[in-house]
Homo-oligomer: A and B are copies of this chain.
Amino acid sequence: MSEQLTTTSYAVLAQVAVHPWSTYELVQQRVRYFRYVWPRAESAIYREVKRLSAMGLLDGRKEHVGKRARTVYSITGKGREALREWLATPVSPFAMDFEAMIRVFVAPIGTKEQIVATLHQVRDDAREMLRFGGEVKQEFLEGIAVTQDQVYIRALAVDFFISLLNTVEAWTERTLAEIETWDDLSPDGKNERALEKIRELPVPTLESVERTPVPPRTQLRPRRHDGRV
């Protein structure tokens, strides 16, 4: 068993740092902590707590309810120290899995109904996540959240979550609206309008003067910064 700590290790340490949990609870409650920003298989969490415990970063205590045992983990000083040291290391970049975009790309070989259904699904997913975000917001406003004493930090996370999901929802809305104006999924007469839309996108482009020396492809490919995961 490797001694190498991964981001998953730190996600577990960070959640256990809040208060002790049985692994089952830890896994169930991950949705309120890091499932949305660091989704991992449940079995990976069970594996991780055992590993961290063997390394002395967590302290596992067996409890019994009748014949059924459970292990409740708490963080050790060594575990907290590991977290602290991690904060000095470079962060790994934002990444996403967004299958819907591949479907949008090949949408013209299917039907309008199919791409509309896909976008509806994405919008509904975003709305469901926003509903959850609203619940968390409500808990803080009522003062009943587990991490109530940490609102000043948690507010930053809730802000991110809600902003991101609102962006996704807004994109599905305007994309659906655009597609609804189409008679079919052929390019006929749509590209000119699309170029205007692209022109209005809120991102700067370089002057042609500056672009003249075409950069080699390796400079185009975003690469990770040195020493980053």
Interface size on A, residues (CB 8 A): 104
Whether A198 touches B83, Cβ cut-off 8 Å, given contacts A28-B221, A121-B225, A164-B167, is: no
Q: Name the B residues within 8 Å of A109 (CB-CB).
A: 17, 80, 83-84, 87
B162 and A202 contact, CB distance less than 8 A: yes
A97 close to B (CB within 8 Å): yes
Complex interface residues of chain A between 95 and 127 (CB less than 8 A to chain B)? 95-111, 114-115, 118, 121-122, 125-126
A10 close to B (CB within 8 Å): yes
Q: How far is the CB of A124 from the nearest CB of chain B, in Å?
A: 8
Copies of this protein, total: 2
**Docked pose: A162 CA to B37 CA in angstroms:** 20
Question: Which positions in A face B, CB cutoff 8 Å?
Answer: 7, 10-11, 14, 17, 28, 31, 33-34, 36-39, 80, 83-84, 86-88, 90-111, 114-115, 118, 121-122, 125-126, 128-130, 132-135, 137-138, 140-141, 149-160, 162-164, 166-168, 170-171, 174-175, 178, 187, 190-191, 193-195, 197-199, 201-206, 211, 217, 220-222, 225, 229
